[in-house]
């Protein structure tokens, strides 16, 4: 029997992230971390069947692999070692989901290092990793489990350039740049604004606009009535709970 209890916060976030892939068609969906990985697999299993997904190692696989499942059970449809991933980045047929310990109003992201002095940071984080290349080549979505910590007035270091940064560069440079969505524990945000600022797209059930604003060091752009984030359908709930994440790894991301 399917578990039909009320959707949890993690499940609402997963659905909001899956929604970021709607309309992507045949691209490599490259989510990082458990909640985004479930979201990518969920999108493909439901409304975006043409997405390509990896086993998070080196193969593009078919089917509904559970989190931590044995990829050797899956049907391999293509080979995606890191070199091919970078080639894929530059070719543009990719949509990545990354984290953002710091993000500002225009979507400038930092996961490299925290502190005023990049040469001697307070906290060394991931480094540049793939952010500079990802942002300037294809669609990017951010997953932020704790909005209040991450929505900052200005980032210490720009690893992933935001809309104002891109606007200051020649037009040709930024022509593939797109920050599709930001999903947090409080809501989903986009940049469908004339000035490139972050807009409230939807708020998770029970979250008020005041609460969302309070958990942000910059002013959130609001256009019209803000809808509630959509709940998972019965099918989605079943897929998340029984197929992709039977062990509840998704709940461990909120700390």
Partner 1 sequence: MADKRMTEDEVVAELKSGMTIGIGGWGSRRKPMSLVRAILRSDLTDLHIVSYGGPDVGILTAAGKCRRVTYGFVSLDSIPLEPHFRAVRQGGLLPDFMELDEGAFYLGLMAAAHRVPFYPTRAGLGSAMLSENPELRTVTSPYGDGEELVAIPAFEMDAVLLHMNRADAKGNGQFLGPDLYFDDLFAMAGAKTYMSAEKIIPTEDFLREGPVHTLKIPRTHVDGVVEAPMGAHFTECPPDYGRDEAFQREYAATAKDPEAWAQFRADWLELESHEAYRAKLEERGRA
As a whole number of angstroms, the distance between CA 154 and CA 131 comes to 17
User: Interface residues with partner 1 (CB under 8 A)?
Assistant: 57-59, 81-83, 86, 89-90, 112-113, 117-133, 135-137, 157-161, 165-166, 168-170, 172-174, 176
Q: How far is the CB of 94 from partner 1 (least distance, A)?
A: 11
Cβ proximity to partner 1: between 4 and 124 the closer is 124
Q: How far is the CB of 41 from partner 1 (least distance, A)?
A: 20
Cβ proximity to partner 1: between 91 and 208 the closer is 91
Q: How far is the CB of 176 from partner 1 (least distance, A)?
A: 8
Q: Name every residue whose Cβ is closer than 8 Å to that of residue 178 and which is 6 or more positions away in sequence.
A: 138, 139, 140
Tell me which residue of 198, 215, 113, 127 sits closest to 155, measured CA to CA. 113
Classify 236 as helix, strand or coil: helix
Q: Name every residue whose Cβ is closer than 8 Å to that of residue 79 and which is 6 or more positions away in sequence.
A: 58, 59, 60
Kindly give the residue spans of alpha helices, DSSP state H, lying in 21-105.
34-45, 82-91
Q: What is the CA radius of gyration of the chain?
A: 18
**What kind and span of H or E run contains 148?**
helix 147-150
Tell me which residue of 231, 237, 227, 207 sits closest to 147, measured CA to CA. 207
Cβ proximity to partner 1: between 125 and 148 the closer is 125
Cβ proximity to partner 1: between 23 and 170 the closer is 170
Q: How far is the CB of 84 from partner 1 (least distance, A)?
A: 9
Q: How far is the CB of 157 from partner 1 (least distance, A)?
A: 5
Cβ proximity to partner 1: between 136 and 239 the closer is 136
Cβ proximity to partner 1: between 113 and 239 the closer is 113
Q: How far is the CB of 1 from partner 1 (least distance, A)?
A: 36
């Amino acid at each position: 029997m399917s578990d039909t209890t009320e959707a949890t916060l993690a499940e609402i976030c997963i659905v909001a992230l899956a929604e970021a892939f709607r309309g992507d068609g045949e691209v490599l969906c490259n989510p990082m971390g458990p909640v985004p990985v479930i979201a990518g697999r969920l999108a493909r299993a439901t409304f975006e069947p043409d997405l390509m997904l990896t086993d998070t190692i080196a193969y593009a696989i078919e089917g509904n692999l559970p989190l931590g499942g044995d990829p050797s059970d899956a049907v391999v449809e293509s080979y995606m070692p890191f070199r091919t991933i970078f080639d894929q980045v530059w070719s543009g047929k990719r949509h990545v989901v990354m984290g953002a310990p710091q993000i500002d109003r225009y979507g400038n992201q930092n996961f490299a290092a925290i502190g005023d002095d990049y040469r001697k940071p307070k906290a060394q984080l991931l480094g540049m990793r793939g952010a500079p290349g990802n942002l300037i080549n294809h669609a990017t979505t951010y997953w932020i489990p704790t909005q209040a910590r991450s929505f900052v007035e200005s980032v210490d270091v720009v690893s992933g350039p935001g809309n104002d940064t891109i606007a200051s560069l020649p037009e040709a440079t930024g022509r593939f740049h797109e920050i599709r969505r930001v999903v947090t524990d409080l809501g989903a945000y986009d940049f469908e604004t004339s000035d490139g600022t972050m807009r409230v797209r939807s708020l998770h059930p029970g979250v008020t606009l005041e609460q969302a604003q309070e958990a942000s060091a910059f002013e959130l752009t609001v256009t019209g009535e803000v809808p509630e984030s959509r709940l998972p359908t019965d099918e989605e709930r079943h897929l998340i709970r029984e197929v992709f994440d039977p062990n509840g790894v998704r709940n461990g991301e909120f700390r």
